[in-house]
Amino acid sequence: MELIRTENLAKVYEDDGIKTEALRNINLSIKEGEFVAVIGPSGSGKSTLMQILGCLDRPTSGKYFFEEKEIHSYTDDELAHIRNYKVGFVFQSFNLLPRLSVLENVVMPLIYRGTPDKEREKKAKEVIELIGLSDRIDYQTSQLSGGQKQRVAIARALVTDPKIIFADEPTGNLDSKSGEVVLRFIQELNHQGHTIVIVTHESYVAQAAKRMLHIVDGEIDKDETVANQKIISKEGFSK
Amino acid sequence: MILFHDILKMTLRDLAVRKNRSALTILGIVIGITSIMVVMSVGKGAQEYVLGEIQRFGPNNVFILPGKEPSGPTGAMGTLLNDSLKERDIDDLSSKSNVPQAVSVIPYVFGSVSLSVGQEIERSMIIGSTVGSQKNFDLKLAEGRFFDEFDLNDKARVVIIGDEIRKKLFENSEAVGQKINIKNLDFQIIGVLAQKSKGSFIDFNDSLIAPYTAIQQDILGIRHFQRVAVEAQSEESIPTVVADIKMTLRENHKIEDPEDDDFNIQTQEDIAKTVGTITGILTVLLFSVAAISLVVGGVGIMNIMLVSVTERTREIGLRKSIGATNKNILTQFLAEALFLTISGGIIGVLLGTSLTYLGIYFVQEFAQIDFPFTFSFNGAVIGILVSSFIGLAFGVFPARQASRKSPVEALRYE
């Protein structure tokens, strides 16, 4: 099933009367179960694309269909609802709340859903188990290493059973070893059927995906299937 | 829908992180609500006190004071002509043809004197009056007797002493029958007053009462009366009695223009009004303090909330990215402002009540005024309502700022 489709999507920023075209003429389609890497140099507009696809921002022009519905006329609340129920985000800078415990951070999206305490705690514990941090469940996230933080962020994205997970440079703030671990988890999620869009400027990260979208100057330069997807095992990248 | 207890938990946690700042922020609110609470408690107590006094004094009593009615804040005019009430006035006022609806007319003289028994010297208040004063002040005797008409006519040097004086001068030995020296004249103690509740305009526990004939000239050295109490038949007859008194006295003193009155008349209602005016001024004053500190406190809350919103911009972005609606964010910040001000309100109610209690305790203990302590339930309700309102009024702006942030820009904020 087609999850995401855009038609001539464009985003223009206006700053002091000077218009900057961040995206133009974006036509793409992402189906359920795909693992797409959006790759391009910094300033190419890849993050802007992710923000629009993730319903954090609205396009200036063009059409965006999420689950075959045009979201152009959606209110802020309806977009918030999509973010809460259908989308999970993993950010470069983790964006965890430092004084909350691992469990409290993971459970947060479900708080905005109004899920009862017991149910959401059970769900959160499941995903924390999945990312292998059950022994850190009551730690404040400020006590965790970078890699562990990003795994908590992944758990937080997963806890709502989203249709799609957007990861914006998820390994950007990590050393290569913990970056690999995080990437392995993301790949693993895709194996389990999750749809994933990962934004990166590093080609070795993009190699872990199944499809690569090259963005240059706000346009899709190339859209290719990754010929030899690199499978990351516990020992690192397999050749 | 976000659950209520989650909002509460979030709020408590966020405020706990900013403990000191939060505590300082609510100071203005605390002061404001404390003032309201004090006003309400003292106001209620004052009202009860005055009503109680009037009840005890007999609501039908009218007091005549010598001198002009005090008009300025200094009351300087009140001291002019203050020897205007003479023996003849009392006789005329007592006459049924002049003031038909008066039940009794009782003159008073009083002054501070030093008295001694052996080596013991005390200072105290001496009151001179007629036999009727016993009933007028509802005085009860613990032992002995009150003075009678014979004592009055004979200018008998007899005295009834308050319980406090008895304790000071005689401790446990018999007082009745003893001699007491006042201004080098010996007075015989013929009675001791029963402990009477303190408070009214005179503290009888610490006073002496004697026939006015015995002390007016010999002790106090005056020929006039300092106060005359006239009891009216009923509450309805008070205006008539007042009018009759005025007519009689003006005739006696040959006054044609009421402006030239050399006496003034206080009814219980007037006294209640005077007390009401004083408490009214106090109320306005404290309410002004309350209003100013509440507005200043509210602006303080708004300021600190705006800082908090800016500091937590990224957090707002994150919360929005995981599905918080604008309303969720608004609620969170509004809840914080509300929690701050309501806490301030509760502290204010408690502090105000304690201060009132302490103040009244000291008044009772040292001024010996029987001012009752009352907890003002209305004050507490108003305090909490006002503090909630302040929280809403001054919290809305920062909370809206927070809720309107674009998630993308908020996430990008450094």
Confidence of residue B309 (pLDDT cuts 50, 70, 90): very high
Interchain proximity A99–B17, CB inside 8 Å: yes
pLDDT at A236 over 60: no
The amino acid that residue B293 corresponds to is S
* DSSP 8-state code for residue B115: E
Which pairing describes strands B207-211 and A164-168: parallel, antiparallel, or unpaired?
unpaired
Distance CA(B222)–CA(B299), nearest Å, equals 62
- Which helix (DSSP H) or strand (DSSP E) does residue B79 occupy? none
Q: Is A231 touching B (CB cutoff 8 A)?
A: no
Taking each helix axis as running N to C, give the angle between helix A102-113 and helix A76-85, from 0 to 180 degrees, rounded to the nearest 10: 130
B367 — alpha (psi -120 to 50), left (phi > 0) or beta? Answer: alpha
Q: For residue B19, which residues of chain A lie inside 8 Å, CB to CB?
A: none
pLDDT at A11 over 90: yes
pLDDT at B332 over 70: yes
Q: How many residues would you count in chain B? A: 414
Q: For residue B322, which residues of chain A lie inside 8 Å, CB to CB?
A: 83-84, 89, 108-109, 112, 156, 160
Interchain proximity A80–B317, CB inside 8 Å: no
Distance CA(B165)–CA(A38), nearest Å, equals 100
The radius of gyration computed from the CA coordinates of chain A, to the nearest angstrom, equals 18
Interface test mutation site (partner A, options B9, B15, B318, max chain A beta carbons within 10 A)? B318
By C-alpha distance, which of A186, A180, A193, A108 is closest to A154? A186
Considering only CB atoms, A112 lies closest to which of B314, B315, B328, namely B328
- How many angstroms separate the Cα of B186 from the Cα of each of A222, B128, B157, B275? 124, 16, 7, 40
Question: Chain B closest CA to A239's CA: distance in Å?
Answer: 36
Question: Chain B closest CA to A10's CA: distance in Å?
Answer: 16
Percent helix, strand and coil across chain B, each rounded to 5? 55, 15, 25
Interface test mutation site (partner A, options B3, B19, B321, max chain A beta carbons within 10 A)? B321
- Average pLDDT on B29-33 reads 92
What token pair was written down for A85? 């129920």
Interchain proximity A80–B325, CB inside 8 Å: yes
Confidence of residue B70 (pLDDT cuts 50, 70, 90): low
- Which helix (DSSP H) or strand (DSSP E) does residue B106 occupy? strand B102-117
Interface test mutation site (partner B, options A76, A99, A161, A168, max chain B beta carbons within 10 A)? A76
Poorest-pLDDT segment among A145-154, B195-204, B286-295:
B195-204
Instruction: Answer positive or negative: Cα dihedral of B233, B234, B237, B241.
Output: positive
Q: So what's the ipTM on this one? A: 0.93
What token pair was written down for A31? 């189906």
Considering only CB atoms, B324 lies closest to which of A80, A99, A160, namely A80
Q: Is A148 touching B (CB cutoff 8 A)?
A: no
* Residue pairs between chains A and B whose CB atoms are closer than 8 Å: 68
Residue-wise pLDDT tens digits, A112-129: 999 999 999 999 999 999
By C-alpha distance, which of B395, B206, B169, B228 is closest to B301? B395
> Within 10 A of A192 (CB to CB), how many other CB atoms are there?
10
pLDDT at B79 over 60: no
- Which helix (DSSP H) or strand (DSSP E) does residue B104 occupy? strand B102-117
Give residue for tokens 């080609």: A203
By C-alpha distance, which of A230, A220, A182, A164 is closest to A44? A220
A33 — alpha (psi -120 to 50), left (phi > 0) or beta? Answer: left
Q: Is A13 touching B (CB cutoff 8 A)?
A: no
> Within 10 A of A65 (CB to CB), how many other CB atoms are there?
16
Alpha helices in B58-148 (DSSP H): 87-94, 133-136
Strand-pairing partners, residue A35, are A196
What token pair was written down for A111? 């708080």
DSSP B378-413: HHHHHHHHHHHHHHHHHHHHHHHHHHTS-HHHHHH-
Taking each helix axis as running N to C, give the angle between helix B313-321 and helix A76-85, from 0 to 180 degrees, rounded to the nearest 10: 70
Interface test mutation site (partner B, options A50, A58, A108, A141, max chain B beta carbons within 10 A)? A108
- How many angstroms separate the Cα of B332 from the Cα of each of B13, B336, B402? 11, 6, 10
Q: What pLDDT is stored for residue A144 in this prediction? A: 93
Alpha helices in B254-325 (DSSP H): 268-311, 313-321
Q: Is A14 touching B (CB cutoff 8 A)?
A: no
> Within 10 A of B6 (CB to CB), how many other CB atoms are there?
20
Residue-wise pLDDT tens digits, B254-297: 888 888 888 888 887 777 777 778 778 878 888 888 889 899 99
- How many angstroms separate the Cα of B372 from the Cα of each of A66, B53, B275, B283, B349? 72, 11, 15, 18, 18
* A149 vs B269 pLDDT, higher one: A149
The radius of gyration computed from the CA coordinates of chain B, to the nearest angstrom, equals 32
Task: Name the architecture of domain A33-60+79-228.
Answer: 3-Layer(aba) Sandwich (3.40)
Distance CA(A47)–CA(B255), nearest Å, equals 100
* B138 vs B304 pLDDT, higher one: B304
Q: What pLDDT is stored for residue B204 in this prediction? A: 80
By C-alpha distance, which of B93, B70, B63 is closest to B238? B63
- 3-state per-residue secondary structure call for chain A: CEEEEEEEEEEEEEECCEEEEEEEEEEEEEECCCEEEEECCCCCCHHHHHHHHCCCCCCCEEEEEECCEECCCCCHHHHHHHHHHCEEEECCCCCCCCCCEHHHHHHHHHHHHCCCHHHHHHHHHHHHHHCCCHHHCCCEHHHCCHHHHHHHHHHHHHCCCCCEEEEECCCCCCCHHHHHHHHHHHHHHHHCCCEEEEEECCHHHHCCCCEEEEEECCEEEEEEECCCCCCEECCEECC
* DSSP 8-state code for residue B95: S
Poorest-pLDDT segment among A64-73, A203-212, B358-367:
B358-367
Helix (H, G, I), strand (E, B) or coil at B229: strand
pLDDT at B378 over 80: yes
What token pair was written down for B10? 């979030």
Interchain proximity A80–B406, CB inside 8 Å: no
Taking each helix axis as running N to C, give the angle between helix B326-362 and helix A76-85, from 0 to 180 degrees, rounded to the nearest 10: 100
Q: What pLDDT is stored for residue A54 in this prediction? A: 94
Q: For residue A114, which residues of chain B lie inside 8 Å, CB to CB?
A: 1-3
Q: For residue B328, which residues of chain A lie inside 8 Å, CB to CB?
A: 80, 112
Confidence of residue B199 (pLDDT cuts 50, 70, 90): very low
Q: What pLDDT is stored for residue A66 in this prediction? A: 94
Interchain proximity A114–B318, CB inside 8 Å: no
Distance CA(A165)–CA(A194), nearest Å, equals 8
pLDDT at A238 over 50: no
